[in-house]
Amino acid sequence: MEIVHTPAAMSAWSRAARDEGRSLALVPTMGCLHAGHLSLMAAARQRADLLAVSIFVNPAQFGPDEDFAAYPRIFEADCQAAEEAGVDVIFAPDVSAVYPPGFQTMVRVKELTKGLCGASRPGHFDGVVTVVAKLFNIIQPQLAVFGEKDFQQLAVVRAMVRDLNFAVEIIGSPIVREKDGLAMSSRNRYLSPAERQAALCLYQALQWARRQAAEGEQDCGRIIAHLTTAIADKPGVRVEYLEIVDNSDLRELEILTDSARLIMAVRIGRTRLIDNGALFPARDSKIITTQGAT
């Protein structure tokens, strides 16, 4: 496994792979790798000859009061985990290599970023799609795998690829959970034992909503009202948003459909956690792929 730190070295590595006729998959991450990231790598590995993983804590996607400085960075352990996962190259640039002096261009996806995480984290998705566009240009992968854990991010990246004609296939990969249902996240390590327990409210909410859907409840408003109260009743937990949306365009739904998805963000103490899931998982396609127009 190679580790490269500059965009020029990364582009040269990719060019050599292309010249040899080998396909390349990319898994973009902020490091602090866990089983969720590893599942994306496994999905990517199956679909391409070579696998690149980027590790970059992207300052452009953090707000001024967010946890950029505190975000866990464990580069050595990440390299070991990546090597064991069969990664061929790690791209781990410095902030100054990605945003050199004079940097002034941002990419913005307009409509899909207005609600949900986009509403509570202004500018977040501009930072995400800008860095993803840069990674695609530097690395030139044929495909890239993103987790459904960040469902809005996946939709926003798909829109960017479609709208800007990136020749990269976007693969969505299912959420990996702890045994008790908590979605794996690098931020889970911020949680105290009591907060870790309280964090189960997200998965419990999803399971409850799924049961309601299976029993024939159709009114999204009733489901949301019940869950908002149930979660708000937990000590130390604050609901940031809780919505039922359509899988494809994140439009808020009033009546449940086959493509309905519960999507939520809460604050537990100082930690912000997100989760989501299809309300009719059996009717929801597990991995959705989108081909970027060329």
Burial label, 19 (beta-carbon count in 10 A; 0-12, 13-18, 19+): exposed
Please choose, out of 143-151, 210-218, 233-241, 278-286, the segment that lies near ligand AMP by the rule CB under 6 A: 143-151
DSSP 8-state secondary structure symbol assigned to residue 168: -
Residue 43, interface with ligand AMP (CB under 6 A)? no
236: left (phi over 0), alpha (psi -120 to 50) or beta: left
Residue placing its CB nearer to ligand AMP in the complex, 57 or 260: 57
175 binds ligand AMP (CB under 6 A): yes
Query: Of 185, 177, 180, nearest to 281 (Cα)?
Result: 177
Chosen residue from 176, 201, 223, 266 binding ligand AMP by CB under 6 A: 176
Closest approach of ligand AMP to the CB of residue 102, in Å = 26
The two beta strands, 169-173 and 143-147, are parallel
- How many other CB atoms are there within 10 angstroms of residue 225's CB atom? 12
Binding to ligand AMP, residues 80-99 (CB under 6 A): none
The kind and range of the H/E element at 41 are helix 35-45
278 with 174: CB under 8 angstroms?
no
Other Cβ atoms less than 10 A from the Cβ of 155: the count is 25
Q: Does 121 bind ligand AMP (CB under 6 A)?
A: no
Asked if 149 is part of the footprint of ligand AMP (rule: CB under 6 A), the reply reads yes
Between 24 and 175, whose beta carbon lies closer to ligand AMP? 175
- Of residues 184 through 213, those in contact with ligand AMP by CB under 6 A are 184-186
In the complex, minimum distance from the CB of residue 125 to ligand AMP, in angstroms, rounded to a whole number: 13
3-state secondary structure of 9: helix
Give me the active site residues, please.
Answer: 37
Cβ neighbours of residue 193 closer than 8 Å, sequence gap 6 or more? none
Our finding on whether 36 is near ligand AMP (CB under 6 A) is yes
- Read off the amino acid at residue 206: L
- The size of the interface with ligand AMP (CB under 6 A), counted in residues, is 17
From candidates 62, 125, 136, 146, binder to ligand AMP by CB under 6 A: 146
Is 116 a residue that touches ligand AMP (CB under 6 A)? no
Please, are residues 68 and 59 in contact by the beta-carbon 8 Å criterion?
yes
CB closer to ligand AMP out of 46 and 229: 46
The verdict on 79 binding ligand AMP (CB under 6 A) reads: no
List residues binding ligand AMP (CB under 6 A). Answer: 29-30, 36-37, 39-40, 146-147, 149-150, 173, 175-176, 183-186
